[in-house]
Amino acid sequence: MGLFDKFKKIVAKAKEENKESLDIYEKGLQKTREEFVSKLSLLGIKYTRVNNEYFEELEDLLISADIGVNTVFKFMEKLKDRVKKENILDTQNLMEVIVDELFIIYVNNESLSTKIARNENGPTIILMVGVNGVGKTTTIGKLGFQFKNMGKKVMMIAGDTFRAGAVAQLKIWAEKTDSLFYGKDNIDPASVIFDGLEKAKNENVDIVLIDTAGRLQNKVNLMKELEKINKVIERIIPKAPHETLLVIDAGTGQNGIMQAKAFKEITNITGIVLTKLDGTAKGGIVLAIKEEVDIPVKFIGLGEKMTDLQTFDIEEYIYGLFKDMM
């Protein structure tokens, strides 16, 4: 049984169980699906037989979905190899192979975990990084909401101390989600985080979400700041932070890939949060990030509501993209 048939079974089962997340993926990836899959279907009508012209147009289509040039080139090589080995002549039959190979790009024979690493002996520390304007503070609010719904005691620490309004903005999210808060304006971020973590330990907090500055223009300064923050965190909570999540706006496409590469150079990124995926037709960036940066996507933002930040699921993502073909 091919992956395509497995997806059909997974989707049928999820629908039977009335799985809410499946609907969120379906709605959230609508723009990408309409742009990408409709063009893919038209390509299958234009070319009924597999030939070089079909492959050329398919390559352009994949690049336009922001899957990434390098990823697309590797994908096309594998696809052509399978077409030759399996003697696929009909473009409609090739559709299922395309879905298979896109799934394989992400999984790549690895067991990818989207689970958040937890600290069994005290608070779990999650450090949030990313450039300004990507939805970092909002993401912290949505994550806080999720953890609160799991019955966890949450604290938010405002480590973006010099940007106007950043501390106040995070405080509002803490109040909205009934989370504890610690923050001060215009002082050294590391000292704020130090005091906040001491408070978190005293208050027996389960999850600490730490906001940081997003000034990537001067990587050296940001690297020094993050190094200092990491040292302070580890001094208070050994082996922390347990997660460093990079927040990227999906709509920025390849610029988001460049951000991931830049942050990977200056700190240890354990996972990626892709925001605003519902507002772009560039949903293929999920595949590009995994292939080009090799960091797992742990959460995706598929709407404005608190519940629209979803734990990333590759099968539901593929369904969201290819629902109209199933």
pLDDT digits (tens, 9 = 90+) for 298-317: 999 988 888 889 999 888 88
What is the reported pLDDT for 1? 46
Phi, psi of 17 (to 5 degrees): -80, 0
Better-scored residue on pLDDT, 180 or 105? 180
pLDDT tens for residues 223-270? 899 999 999 999 999 999 999 999 999 988 888 889 999 999 889 999
Q: Is the pLDDT at 5 greater than 70, yes or no?
A: no
Burial level of 184, CB count in 10 A (0-12/13-18/19+)? Answer: middle
Residues 224, 212 contacting (CB under 8 angstroms): no
pLDDT tens for residues 154-175? 999 999 999 989 999 999 999 9
Better-scored residue on pLDDT, 306 or 141? 141
Q: Classify the C-alpha dihedral 191-194-195-196 as positive or negative.
A: positive
Residue 286 pLDDT grade (very low, low, confident, very high; cuts 50, 70, 90)? confident
Decide: helix, strand or coil at residue 132: coil
Across the chain, the runs of DSSP E, i.e. the strands, are 124-129, 154-158, 180-183, 207-211, 243-249, 271-275, 297-301, 309-311
Q: What does the block give as tokens for 177?
A: 């989600």
> Mean of the pLDDT values across residues 46-71?
89
Ranking 33-47, 118-132, 140-154, 159-173 by mean pLDDT, the lowest is 33-47
Q: Where are the alpha helices (DSSP H) in the chain?
A: 3-16, 20-28, 30-46, 52-64, 69-85, 91-107, 136-149, 166-176, 189-202, 219-236, 254-266, 285-293, 314-322
pLDDT tens for residues 172-216? 999 999 999 999 999 999 999 999 999 999 999 999 999 999 887
| Average pLDDT along the chain | 88
Residue 121 pLDDT grade (very low, low, confident, very high; cuts 50, 70, 90)? confident
Most distant pair of Cα atoms in the chain: their distance? 68
Residue 16 pLDDT grade (very low, low, confident, very high; cuts 50, 70, 90)? low
